[in-house]
Structure 1
Amino acid sequence: MSDRETDKTVSVIIASHTWGRYGLFKEAIQSIQNQTYDDIELVLPLDGDPDMVETTELLTDGGVEITYNPETTGLAEARNRGADNASGDIYAFLDDDCVAAPDWVAELVDAFEDGAIAAGGPAIPEWPAERPIHIPREFDWLIGGGPYHDEATEIRNTYGCNIAFRADIFDELGGFDTAHGKNGNMAQAEETELCIRKHKSGSNER
């Protein structure tokens, strides 16, 4: 990140719904706690599994906004609930099985300082061993990896596991459409629908 001064607060929203993902969820939380950028609010919308709440409170040692819904209503609803309880200038969404690079938030803030109203980056697969020879980098999208760009550029949308919005724009658009997103066996890209809706509203994304 550059040395420029900024007063932007970033609300990082990580939704989770099952104890079965807790090990990954823990790594995601710790990656945000270890960011190089200081002004971060961590918001954790949980649903479905009540055991997640108490354990997450112990893990975060207080000072984190945790919301809980006993019903599993889907990822889009959980992310919207997280945004409803966030107070930052930027809402940054990270999946509960992703680990953010230490400068992830700082790089997002730089993009918003340059005028972006939405920004994101790639999902980089973590292979248990070497990359399989039958999956070149160009095919990472088949397993949820990418999109890859060497320089900042305008695209339709990044993936929901690594995407951020100016809070006022997200709120103005009404957040994610809960008819989309991950819910049970249904998996429709709520971030794609939101970004298309944003483009149609006349906004630009970087």
Structure 2
Amino acid sequence: MNQAKTLFSIVVPTYNRPDKLAQCLQSFVELEYPRDRFQVIVVNDSTEISVETTIYPFQSQLNLILLTQPNSGPATARNTGAFAAEGKFVVFTDDDCTVAADWLQNLEKRFGETPDCLIGGRTVNALPDNIYSTASQQLIDYLYSYYNAIADRAQFFTSNNFALSAEAFQQIGGFDTTFSLAAGEDREFCFRWLNLGGRAVYAPEVIVYHSHALTLGKFWRQQFNYGRGAFLFGEIVSKHGAKGKRQHPSFYLNLLTYPLFHGSGIQRLLITGLFLVSQAGIAAGLFWEKNVFVEK
């Protein structure tokens, strides 16, 4: 496809979630946006698990490319897709997300105003009846309210809903593949982008719906991995000569009270409890990764 006509390249890393991937691709079919203006790049992060059957029904409906790599983690998979992008802008989402019909329309408007910026959208929990998924998204919502309070001077986006020019992505070197888990690579990318003088803009009208079904065990593992990623992030920040910034105690007080103002009934108390669990999980993951780092 002619690069001059392709405005967006949507990159979707996937690993062994065929049903979710199919839902994700269906949402691209339903986009209210010209088909010849975007392409979809699915990166299968496995040479052992095929997704060809899953994507086959969509190949006649989308400009769809499938790339396959040995299991290397989502950061590497995103790089694989982005470095093959034909579009002017590269857009990232995940295989357990679906996008709003006006997703690309709203991104185009934003890039028309700020073409050189990193633009991050809003993620909505698509599983409101799952208390663990709700708590997980509320944690992200709190971080967005804290780091992106000034929308045109945003500081942090999750990698399931942000976009930037393909040229800028390549110049910055893509995601840091030191992060082999889905934890911390987006935080490091945003830090590096801002540290190099880039600007980030929060665009809440650019919406994806996240269907990440969690149990208590999966919620703990997620937060534990976030802790591992936080340690790696701290090491990278220190290598840049920057000191890790300690959060003011009010950050944690506001974190733990956030669910009380963003829920109803007993759910508020349950999610507050899960926020406490999350902090324990993050601390455990951080110390675990620190011990592994010392042993190396």
Global fold match (TM > 0.5)? yes
Q: Which residue of 2 aligns with 1:26?
A: 22
Counterparts of 1:52-67 in structure 2 under 5 Å? 52-62=50-60, 63-67=63-67
Which of the pair has more CA radius of gyration? 2
- Report the alpha carbon displacement of residue 181 of structure 1 after superposing the two structures with TM: 5.0
In structure 2, the residue matched to 1:169 is 168
Report the alpha carbon displacement of residue 81 of structure 1 after superposing the two structures with TM: 0.2
Task: Report the Cα offset of residue 171 of structure 1.
Answer: 0.7
| Aligned-partner SS, 1:99 | strand
Query: Residue 31 of structure 2 contacts residue 101 of structure 2 at CA under 8 Å; is this kept in 1?
Result: yes
Asked if structure 2 preserves the Cα contact closer than 8 Å seen for 1:44 and 1:67, the reply is yes
For 2:51, what is the secondary structure of its paired residue? helix
Q: Contact 1:14 / 1:45 at 8 angstroms: preserved in 2? A: yes
Shift of 1:140: 3.4
Asked whether 1:41 is paired with 2:36, we answer: no
Q: Distance in 1 between matches of 2:176 and 2:15?
A: 19
Q: Distance in 1 between matches of 2:68 and 2:6?
A: 27
CA distance in 1, matches of 2:82, 2:56: 22
Contact 1:8–1:109, Cα closer than 8 Å, also in 2: no
Percent same amino acid at aligned positions? 26
Q: Deviations over 1:37-81 (max 9, x none)?
A: 221111111122544332134132254111011x21000000000
Could you tell me how far 1:35 is from its partner in structure 2? 1.0
User: Mean Cα displacement is larger for which, 71-80 or 115-124?
Assistant: 115-124
TM-score normalised by the chain length of structure 1: 0.80
Match of 1:124 in 2: 124
CA distance in 2, matches of 1:44, 1:168: 20
Contact preservation (8 Å) 1:125, 1:145: no
Kindly provide the amino acid, as one letter, of the partner of residue 32 in structure 1. Answer: F
Question: Unaligned stretches of 5+ in structure 2?
Answer: 202-296
From 187, 195, 198, the counterpart of 1:192? 187
Aligned-residue Cα RMSD (Å) equals 2.6
Distance apart, 1:157 and its partner CA: 2.0
Task: Kindly tell me the number of residue pairs found equivalent between the two proteins.
Answer: 188
CA distance in 1, matches of 2:64, 2:112: 26
| Aligned counterparts of 2:20 and 2:160: Cα–Cα separation in 1 | 13
TM-score, normalised via structure 2 length: 0.57
For the structure 1 residues 59 and 31, does the alpha-carbon distance in structure 2 shift closer, same or farther, using more than 3 Å as the test?
same
Q: Is the 8 A contact 2:6 2:39 kept in 1?
A: no
Equivalent in the alignment of 1:3: none
* 1:145 CA displacement: 5.0
Please list the CA deviations of residues 118-170 of structure 1 after superposition, one character each: whole Å capped at 9, or x if unmatched. Answer: 112121112354x86xx68xx8333x557368995331121111111111111
Greater helix share, 1 or 2?
Answer: 2
Note the residue ranges of structure 1 that are not aligned, 5 or more in a row: 1-6
| Distance change (3 Å), C-alpha of 1:181 and 1:153 | farther
- Shift in alpha-carbon separation, 1:191–1:170, aligned structure 2, 3 A: same
